[in-house]
Amino acid sequence: MRLIATLPALTLVLTTGLLSQAPAPSAPKIRTLIISGQNPHDWRTVNPLLRKTLEDTGRFEVRITEEFRGAGPETLADYDLVVLNYADWHKPGLRFGDRADAALLDFVKSGKGLVLYHFSAAAFDGWTEFEKLSGGNWRPGAGQHSAAHDFTVEIKDPNHPITRGLPTTLPQAHDELYSNLKWQPEGCCHILATAWDDHSLYKNPQQPIPGPGKAEPMLWTIDYGKGRVYADMLGHDGPAVQTPTFIKLFTRGAEWAATGIVTLP
């Protein structure tokens, strides 16, 4: 009788315990649009890899457009995040156009996220507002790199949500290390990580390289209106976007740009 009398209480304890261990409802997927279609780099190979990298986390739902010219606010209305893998590279006909330009700027200003990926920093020469949004850009006489090589990414702000909990140094294999970009005024962006640009690796430098080398920004963030921009200069080609370092930084940066927090391990 004593055992029977305790069964309801035992059932309640077990049920309560199971409920407390039940997983919390999953967060809504971050609706992401990769804007691409033009770039001197191999965007056709990289785009599906970027998409897979994001979707493999379980946090993102990704689509790709190869034609954003003529787009408007309705094009971006259903998205939380834009990843820009686009560079018109001195071809005026490849500019998006006023309506699409305004749609992209308004998208970020409204509180959404933008990832400026690698050579997208070279896009839209002469578009002043894009340069403000970017922080640093590849421009005529500003922007170069030595041959692709192995280097170390050094975290400068270990307390930012993107970099919190990561090692202070991360190896990146056979990638381009951008240097001497054109920067907006000091304080325009928040530097998350740098890499040492060894000037002895330049065979035929086109721009000044004083001294033995310099720590060059690789990752930074910018607040733009109510939105967030994450600039990631890593990831020159297919192999470079599949390294553990790139995947870790790119996915965490993308989540932060879209939401302002990072939940990815």
| Nearest CA-CA partner of 234 in 223, 242, 224, 225 | 242
Task: Give residue limits of the domains in the chain.
Answer: 27-139+182-189+217-259
- Give me the pLDDT at residue 7, please: 37
- Give me the pLDDT at residue 264, please: 97
Consecutive H or E run containing 6: helix 2-21
Crossing angle for the helix pair 43-55 and 244-259, to the nearest 10 degrees: 70
Which is it for strands 169-175 and 30-35: parallel, antiparallel or unpaired? Answer: unpaired
The CATH homologous superfamily to which domain 27-139+182-189+217-259 belongs is: Class I glutamine amidotransferase (GATase) domain (3.40.50.880)
Within the chain, what is the greatest distance between any pair of CA atoms?
91
Averaged pLDDT, 158-184: 98
* Rounded Cα distance, 224 and 36, in Å: 22
* Rounded Cα distance, 27 and 31, in Å: 12
Tokens of 164: 């919190």
Looking at the DSSP assignment, which residues form a beta bridge with residue 179?
A: 144
- Give me the pLDDT at residue 27, please: 84
Averaged pLDDT, 58-68: 98
- pLDDT tens-place string over residues 249-265: 999 999 999 999 999 99
Whose tokens are 């290390």? That residue is 177
Model confidence at 26, pLDDT cuts 50, 70, 90, reads confident
